[in-house]
Structure 1
Amino acid sequence: METIYSMIVLTLIFSTPILITAIGGLFSERSGVVNIALEGLMMFGAFFAATVTVLLEPYTAAAPWIGLLAGALAGGIVSLLHAYLSINLKSDQVISGTAINMFALGMTIYLSQIIFHQQRTRAYTRGFIKTTYSGLSKIPVLGPIFFTNIYPTVYIAFLLVIVSWYVLYKTPFGLRLRATGDNPHAVDSVGISVYVQRYTGVVLSGLLGGLGGAVMVLTQDIQYTVLSIHGTGFIALAALIFGKWTPFGVLGASLFFGSSQILKVYSTNLSFLRYLPAEFFDMLPYLLTVTALVFFSGKSSGPKAAGVPYDKGSR
């Protein structure tokens, strides 16, 4: 039973950056802008989170939390570039996002060389640590899963799911954002700025994408390297499609993809996995991503205007 509980806890931990980033992509696509740049936004968020944590940890124990904030802000700032190219210049949103991914790859290495004189940040010693909440951990079933040996960032991810659901479906802002992604001309006809709605969605996507990268590097690594994110942004994009562009659907999809990443840890403990090569488990998350897209992308219908630049004259 303890093995099952620990597998569930690790699934929550590995799912957290996927979930946070996918929720960010949800806001962008609900506004009508496809955000392929989630991988690059995570890289920028991870780099700045690790850098700030390394530089501040000699002075404050809050360095990881400040690093999270820095990572989110970095993602938000970089997303303005994607917003400008996609919304103002009406460029192809897939190409714009791909360009930002390539930009992130080179820029984070370049900044590492300038700041740390190597192609990675220095290792930090004050990243987030797993915590057991003594009173709550004794609650049957829920205690061993949610309050035993777990990172506090997991709670942030679940809170974001609830908040995003409420914002999207229970507030005027959410109604306008969703309407912008489905019928921007109708939104414009009642005096609501399509540009403002789309900029808001893309910037929220950047903030959460950067936060997802920051969480990943501060909980699953000891420093930022160019391989720290290793395709998680694309898995988050798949979780968004697999989850049918809804917060709770994204939660389920993220848990599904997160669970595939922990099988390698327990492969020696499970008899039916023991004889599979280690490379199989390295490949598994990406194999499941492709499989999910093949079987479910055709059955999922996202926002109708997603990926289409808004042209007022085409009404």
Structure 2
Amino acid sequence: MSSPAHALEADGTLHLDTVRRRRFKVPISLAIVTVLLAVLFLTVPRDGTSTFRISEGVTFVALPDVSVPTGPTSWILVAFLAVLTLWALWDAWSYRTPALWITIVFGIVAVFAFLVWSSAGGLVPMASLLFGAVSLSVPLVFGALGGVIGERAGVVNVAIEGQLLLGAFSAALLSSMTGNPFVGLIGAMVGGVLVAFVLAAFAIKYLVDQVIVGVVLNVLVTGLTGFLYGALLVPNEEVLNRPERFTTVKIPLLSEIPIIGPVLFNQTFIVYLMFLTVAAVAWALYRTRWGLRVRSVGEHPQAADTVGINVNSTRFWNVSLAGAIAGIGGAYFTLVSVPQFSKEMTAGLGFIALAAVIFGRWDPIRAALAALLFGFATNLQNLLTVLGTPIPSEFMLMLPYVVTVLAVAGFAGHIRAPAADGKPYIKG
């Protein structure tokens, strides 16, 4: 990477020079992961055969299981990771930013190496692993999309956790009362909008610090839903906390494609809605007048104001839209994942969704992919527990959060938030 610098010559002429800087953040992160895996494989060697099941259920082509020798394969993969690390280091030393494909390939190979080591003498069902990863990622994806829209408009959305939680509560309550999951879904969106409405009112109209408002809202919603759960849902559990859930919708033919068929095309309505929402937000943010206005009030509100855009109104309504989208993620908890609402059931996933926004560089598709990564880490934790991996259970519980920290702090590289993100706009 390079940055401009001014140089004043003896004749008084001002020249624009370039100061070249080497950025070693990515290669150092890759090196740390490579060394950790090498130390793990060296100190806790595992023998036997690791088996990966490719085909599950009915598919067009029945692919056989793939078995590899655990020890040799693990070390071959570590050597390949070392080569990628050296490649990234050479790019950084040559004043180039390491290519994105290096990080992506490194991540896939590192996970596969860890799976080979973990599954010695066991079986890894790949379709089930990926299906669980997508399922666990749904609330994170919707929360991350809400965060992207809010922050692109210039408002830091720390209240994603509260939007998820109130969305889950509203969905459970209304779906139980009506026996209709779609009514519960609409209720979840309303719940997310209510939290976003309060955030927007205090942050935009009353100029209160946006991060503080978001944290307070999370605490408020946690306390409110906990109180209503004990006072309203527990005494009337059969009537008010037995939501009608979405059923699985299997798409003919597409669901029979090996590996990706069961993962992508044998899902519930909310998962299909997630696919459509990611595509719609990504297209609209960069291809429509709405997207241009959102990005303009988040980058340069003064310039947006001069061309007739009502900055605060645009921010207010887009923060509300973000809350509705995050509320859909909350509905997944009670309308798909768990058959009833429970206290603090979101378990801090709103903050991981916020990390996905940062890791995804405030881009809808990248944020969704980051959310899928964190969902994969959570499901991997469950699989490793079943496989009996010789890793302490306490570390297994830490795995999704360790991946989150590594992703944001180590692999995100040099990132820049929207210029006016978190900054209130005062007209005139």
Q: Do Structure 1 and Structure 2 share a fold, with TM-score over 0.5?
A: yes
CA contact (8 A) 2:159 2:195 kept: no
Q: CA shift at 1:23, angstroms? A: 0.4
User: How many residue pairs get matched?
Assistant: 305
CA distance in structure 2 between the partners assigned to 1:227 and 1:189 by the alignment:
44
1:242-253 mapped onto 2 (5 Å cutoff): 242-253=359-370
Corresponding position of 2:247: 129
Residues 213 and 111 from structure 1, CA distance in 2 versus in 1: closer, same or farther, beyond 3 angstroms?
Answer: same
- From 320, 332, 335, give the equivalent of 1:203: 320
Q: CA shift at 1:247, angstroms? A: 1.1
Residues 284 and 141 from structure 1, CA distance in 2 versus in 1: closer, same or farther, beyond 3 angstroms?
Answer: closer
CA contact (8 A) 2:181 2:243 kept: no
Structure 2 alignment gaps of length 5 or more: 1-53, 57-124
The two structures, once aligned, show a CA RMSD in angstroms of: 2.1
CA distance in structure 1 between the partners assigned to 2:187 and 2:273 by the alignment:
16
- From 285, 288, 293, give the equivalent of 2:400: 285
- Kindly indicate whether residue 294 of structure 2 is the aligned counterpart of residue 174 of structure 1: no
CA contact (8 A) 1:263 1:281 kept: no
Structure 1 alignment gaps of length 5 or more: 58-62
CA distance in structure 2 between the partners assigned to 1:86 and 1:96 by the alignment:
7
**Larger mean Cα displacement after TM superposition, 115-124 or 135-144:** 115-124
**Amino acid of the structure 2 residue aligned with 1:247:** P
1:1-315 mapped onto 2 (5 Å cutoff): 1=54, 2=56, 3-57=125-179, 63-117=180-234, 123-124=241-242, 126-148=244-266, 150-268=267-385, 270=387, 274-296=389-411, 299-313=414-428
Q: CA shift at 1:128, angstroms? A: 2.4
Question: Match of 1:302, SS?
Answer: coil
1:63-94: CA deviations, max 9, x gaps?
22211110011111221110010001011000
**Larger mean Cα displacement after TM superposition, 206-215 or 127-136:** 127-136
CA contact (8 A) 2:143 2:329 kept: yes
CA contact (8 A) 2:160 2:326 kept: yes
**Amino acid of the structure 2 residue aligned with 1:248:** I
CA distance in structure 2 between the partners assigned to 1:91 and 1:46 by the alignment:
27
Question: Match of 1:309, SS?
Answer: coil
**Amino acid of the structure 1 residue aligned with 2:192:** G
Corresponding position of 2:29: none
CA distance in structure 2 between the partners assigned to 1:79 and 1:291 by the alignment:
29
CA distance in structure 2 between the partners assigned to 1:142 and 1:292 by the alignment:
25
CA distance in structure 2 between the partners assigned to 1:119 and 1:104 by the alignment:
21
**Larger mean Cα displacement after TM superposition, 275-284 or 222-231:** 275-284
CA distance in structure 1 between the partners assigned to 2:416 and 2:379 by the alignment:
30
CA distance in structure 1 between the partners assigned to 2:384 and 2:337 by the alignment:
19
Give the fraction of aligned pairs with identical amino acids, expressed as a percent.
37
CA contact (8 A) 1:120 1:225 kept: no
**Larger mean Cα displacement after TM superposition, 88-97 or 296-305:** 296-305
- Looking at both structures, which has the greater relative contact order when contacts are Cα pairs under 8 Å and sequence separation is at least 6? 1
**Amino acid of the structure 2 residue aligned with 1:64:** P
Structure in which a larger fraction of residues adopt strand: 2
Query: TM-score, normalised to structure 1's length?
Result: 0.90
| Dislocated runs of 4+, deviation >6 Å | none
Q: CA shift at 1:141, angstroms? A: 4.5
CA distance in structure 2 between the partners assigned to 1:157 and 1:224 by the alignment:
21
CA distance in structure 1 between the partners assigned to 2:235 and 2:160 by the alignment:
25
CA contact (8 A) 2:153 2:297 kept: yes
Residues 41 and 120 from structure 1, CA distance in 2 versus in 1: closer, same or farther, beyond 3 angstroms?
Answer: farther
Residues 279 and 119 from structure 1, CA distance in 2 versus in 1: closer, same or farther, beyond 3 angstroms?
Answer: farther
Q: CA shift at 1:55, angstroms? A: 1.7
Q: CA shift at 1:155, angstroms? A: 1.1
CA distance in structure 2 between the partners assigned to 1:210 and 1:189 by the alignment:
34
Corresponding position of 2:84: none
Question: Match of 1:300, SS?
Answer: coil
CA distance in structure 2 between the partners assigned to 1:5 and 1:256 by the alignment:
16
CA distance in structure 2 between the partners assigned to 1:99 and 1:269 by the alignment:
38
Question: Match of 1:46, SS?
Answer: helix
Residues 29 and 275 from structure 1, CA distance in 2 versus in 1: closer, same or farther, beyond 3 angstroms?
Answer: same
CA contact (8 A) 1:110 1:119 kept: no
1:248-303: CA deviations, max 9, x gaps?
11121011001011113322554xx6222333332211222222232256621110
CA contact (8 A) 1:30 1:201 kept: no
1:106-161: CA deviations, max 9, x gaps?
1112222342245989642632233433433223444233223x323211111111
